[in-house]
């Protein structure tokens, strides 16, 4: 088993570590509090120097801000984080009246192969650790210059960036427990959402292990024929099985499931699709979140106008299905998952090739 990074440890695990080091138990809580703020051992000023130096020998496992783009339209901030192994991962801070929501990634890249997504174009490099995911929050808080408590930089978290959260199940559940810990970030599970493309067995497991988190299901099509084309995972877990699992989550937890539905012009945005979608989800305690697609040039798919999206929402509402259109955010800063990372990787590769050619001359 690989060594666990320091930022991924539960308080009880730190206590066990410090007991093995013959350190007093209260030191573990001090370190846990520092780690929740993204502090490195050298910054933990209330610890003895010898303990700080010993902690420095461990794998830390956090993230630092590498690049940022801010939308001139709505203030959305697209972040690119650098991990300790130099991999780059995205996150997006979205500003709303009720608070700020940070959308974070759970994997470096993605293996799901959805037809409308940039995250999957280079495949999946590796899973993120819980500590790295926590590091995204800490990096944003530091960048925003705001601390914990009232007015903090991040009030809500959505696991909806690059990667499939339930494909990185153990690290994601560990992250959820750490980020909601009262001695850590203390973000309520009810302010956290997780989006899955439809790993049905893991949804049932998730019901038992994280019942207070909002479950969002990336549906994007009302039937198997269309969803097979858009989302390869549907060939393993078809729409009926996915909806059954979503309904089980709603019944078990008493919480409303959110169905994410990206509207793609000329493909899944017609009245016939709205009628079929309403027939499939009616009876499930749910809400449909309609998303005009953020176009990805490599994919050749286009979104729809706001008017078209509102019409689709009205069709659903008339048939008794709760639906709203998500506000379009970050379209001027490569807001779709994976776009900024993909562009920066291309720039890094091009620069390396140029330097290589120069060295060979």
Q: Name the catalytic one among 110, 114, 197, 337.
A: 337
Separate counts of helices (H) and strands (E) for the chain: 11, 12
* Cβ atoms 63, 136 nearer than 8 A: yes
Please provide the distance, in angstroms rounded to a whole number, between the alpha carbons at the two ends of the chain. Answer: 46
CA atoms of 48 and 50, how far apart (whole Å):
5
Taking CA atoms, 181 is separated from 102, 153, 213, 334, in Å, by 18, 18, 14, 33
Is 124 assigned a catalytic role? Answer: no
CA atoms within 13 A on the CB side of 147: 4
CA atoms of 104 and 136, how far apart (whole Å):
7
CA atoms of 11 and 185, how far apart (whole Å):
13
Q: Name the catalytic one among 15, 90, 164, 334.
A: 90
Is 110 assigned a catalytic role? Answer: no
> Token match 């494909």: residue?
167
Which is it for strands 77-83 and 88-96: parallel, antiparallel or unpaired?
Answer: antiparallel
Which is it for strands 286-292 and 323-325: parallel, antiparallel or unpaired?
Answer: parallel
> Token match 């759970």: residue?
106
Active site residues: 90, 337
């Amino acid at each position: 088993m690989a060594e666990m990074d320091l930022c991924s440890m539960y308080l009880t695990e730190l206590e066990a570590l410090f007991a093995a080091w013959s350190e007093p138990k209260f030191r573990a809580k001090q370190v846990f509090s520092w780690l929740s703020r993204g502090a490195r051992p050298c910054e933990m000023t209330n610890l003895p120097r010898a303990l700080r130096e010993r902690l420095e020998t461990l794998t830390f496992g956090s993230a630092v801000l590498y690049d940022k783009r801010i939308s001139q339209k709505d203030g959305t901030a697209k972040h690119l984080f650098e991990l300790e192994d130099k991999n780059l991962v995205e996150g997006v801070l979205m500003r709303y009246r009720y608070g700020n929501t940070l959308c974070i990634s759970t994997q470096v890249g993605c293996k799901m192969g959805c037809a409308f997504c940039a995250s999957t174009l280079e495949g999946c490099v590796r899973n993120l650790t819980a500590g790295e995911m926590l590091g995204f929050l800490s990096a944003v808080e530091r960048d925003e210059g705001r601390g914990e408590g009232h007015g903090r930089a991040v009030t809500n978290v959505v696991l909806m960036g690059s990667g499939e959260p339930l494909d990185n199940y153990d690290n994601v559940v560990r992250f959820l427990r750490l980020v909601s810990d009262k001695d850590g970030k203390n973000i309520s599970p009810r302010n956290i959402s997780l989006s899955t493309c439809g790993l049905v067995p893991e949804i049932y497991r998730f019901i038992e292990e994280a019942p207070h988190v909002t479950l969002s299901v990336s549906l994007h099509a009302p039937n198997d024929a269309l969803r097979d084309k858009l989302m390869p995972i549907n060939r393993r877990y078809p729409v009926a099985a996915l909806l059954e699992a979503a309904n089980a989550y709603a019944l078990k937890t008493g919480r409303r499931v959110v169905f994410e539905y990206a509207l793609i012009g000329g493909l899944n945005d017609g009245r016939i699709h709205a009628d079929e979608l309403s027939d499939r989800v009616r009876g499930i305690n749910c809400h449909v979140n309609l998303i005009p697609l953020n176009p990805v040039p490599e994919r050749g798919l286009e979104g729809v106008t706001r008017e078209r999206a509102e019409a689709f929402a009205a069709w659903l509402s008339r048939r008794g299905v709760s639906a709203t259109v998500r506000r379009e955010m970050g379209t001027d800063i490569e807001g779709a998952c994976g776009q900024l990372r993909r562009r920066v990787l291309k720039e890094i590769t091009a620069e390396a090739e140029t330097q290589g050619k120069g060295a060979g001359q």
